Amino acid sequence: MKRVSLTQHLVEQQRHNNAITAELRLLIEVVARACKTISHSVGKGALGDILGSAETENIQGEVQKKLDVISNEILLEANEWGGHLAAMASEEMETIHPIPNRYPMGEYLLMFDPLDGSSNIDVNVSIGTIFSVLKAPEGMGAPNEQAFLQPGTQQVAAGYAVYGPQTMLVLTTGKGVNCFTLDREMGSWVLTQRDMRIPEDTKEFAINMSNKRHWHAPVQRYVDEMLAGKTGPREKDFNMRWIASMVADVHRILNRGGIFMYPADMRDPSSPGKLRLMYEANPMAMIVEQAGGAATDGNGRILEIVPHKLHQRVPVFLGSKNEVERVTAYHQA
Ligand code: AHG
Ligand code: MN
Ligand code: MN
């Protein structure tokens, strides 16, 4: 079989469909290269002194793991000098990171969750990197946080890398979803799945059940009906998976269907759930929609939410279309 590399795939997209600009191609290649470096670090584990806590807190008040900090630095360094970006923003940084003056400024904005699934690092379970790309608003001048506050529909590219038994990169530029596997010997990304599609129906759900007592009524109803199985209103048995790395859960759903939920709950009525809109929910929502699935916050499309702050949180329901539509309808009932 003839192998298609990430570079070749992107060049073809640029040439035939005019789907991406040369600058966006460079951006994606640089992010992919940074993910390769992160994957290499992840693979070293205790031998690379990358496990454990960094003993610092990020803006979300979460204790940072060493690998959160390392991955953030790898992504920042890789993307600073290429001339394709105006600024970056990350889960691990309070404010935006403008491109230093010594480098040329490009027209794109990059956001990332450098290391998703931090609680799984030290136990050798799949983790990942999530990223989202926007265009800087025209005539923006010096980049500021406001420039990033665009709805997810404006994303020009989104993707994630998953560091599991295999390292994979899943990418969309708005023309379907493709998956690349890292050839560890050659150090190259090879196209291994074209145009991934999420089955519309599923018998598998993913939610952190330990929060059940805190859920709102629509989520209680939806999950209870699934748990009731064959003799319940759904008349079929469901299976459950929860990896606690969104990348790994979404990757499973892209491959065989399923619904992933991280709802808001009653613990803190002012908090709309755990996941962050700009660099977790939006890129995943774009990928899932591009693969024929759906992604809502229980009310409407995640991608249509107009953000008001960089680190804003959002309830997330995404995956197989018919299931996401059902739980969303329960919120409106
Ligand atoms: P992060 O490691 O970037 O903070 O994100 C972790 C997220 C997400 O990946 C996962 O689905 C969820 O948190 C797990 O939450 P619980 O610990 O509540 O299961
Ligand atoms: Mn995350
Ligand atoms: Mn993270």
Q: Provide the pLDDT for residue 268.
A: 86
Q: Give the residue-averaged pLDDT of 281-310.
A: 98
Q: Residue 82 pLDDT > 80, yes or no?
A: yes
Residues within 5 Å of ion ligand 3 by Cβ? 91, 113, 115-116
Query: Was domain 204-332 assigned CATH 3.20.19.10?
Result: no
Q: Is 117 in the pocket of ligand 1 (CB under 6 A)?
A: yes
Q: Is 118 in the pocket of ligand 1 (CB under 6 A)?
A: yes
Residue-wise pLDDT for 196-233, tens only, equals 999 999 999 999 999 999 999 999 999 999 999 999 99
Which pLDDT band holds residue 240 (cuts at 50, 70, 90)? Answer: very high
The residue behind tokens 């960094």 is: 54
The CA-atom distances, in angstroms, between 136 and each of 105, 110, 147 are 11, 10, 6
Q: Provide the pLDDT for residue 8.
A: 96
70 alpha carbon – ligand 1 mean position (Å): 18
Q: Give the residue-averaged pLDDT of 231-257.
A: 98
Query: What is the 3-state composition of the chain as percent helix, strand, coil, each rounded to the nearest 5?
Result: 40, 25, 35
Q: Provide the pLDDT for residue 271.
A: 81
Mean pLDDT of the chain: 96
Domain range annotation of the chain:
6-193, 204-332
| Strand partners for 178 | 171
**Parallel, antiparallel, or unpaired: how do β-strands 108-116 and 85-90 relate?**
parallel
Atom of ligand 1 nearest to the CA of 117: 2
DSSP one-letter string for 187-202: TEEEEEE-S----S--
Q: Is 116 in the pocket of ligand 1 (CB under 6 A)?
A: yes
CB proximity list for 306: less than 8 A, separation 6 or greater? 149, 151
Does the annotation place 270 within a ligand binding site? no
Task: Give strand ranges (E) for 242-315.
Answer: 259-262, 294-296
| Strand partners for 132 | 111, 158
Residue-wise pLDDT for 117-171, tens only, equals 999 999 999 999 999 999 999 988 889 999 999 999 999 999 999 999 999 999 9
Does the annotation place 119 within a ligand binding site? yes
Judged by its nearest atom, the ligand closest to the C-alpha of residue 38 is: 3
Query: Which residue, 207, 208, 237, is CA-closest to 324?
Result: 207
Question: pTM for the whole thing?
Answer: 0.97
The residue count of the chain comes to 333
Q: Is 130 in the pocket of ligand 1 (CB under 6 A)?
A: no
For domain 6-193, which CATH number applies: 3.40.50.300, 3.40.50.2300, 3.40.50.150, 3.30.540.10? 3.30.540.10
Does the annotation place 204 within a ligand binding site? no
Q: Is 113 in the pocket of ligand 1 (CB under 6 A)?
A: yes
Which pLDDT band holds residue 319 (cuts at 50, 70, 90)? Answer: very high
Which pLDDT band holds residue 312 (cuts at 50, 70, 90)? Answer: very high
The reply to whether 204-332 shares the fold of 6-193 is no
Q: Is 158 in the pocket of ligand 1 (CB under 6 A)?
A: no
Return the structure tokens found at 283: 């890129």
Q: Provide the pLDDT for residue 62.
A: 83
Residue-wise pLDDT for 89-122, tens only, equals 999 999 999 999 999 999 999 999 999 999 999 9
| Protein residue whose Cα sits closest to atom 15 of ligand 1 | 244
Q: Residue 19 pLDDT > 90, yes or no?
A: no
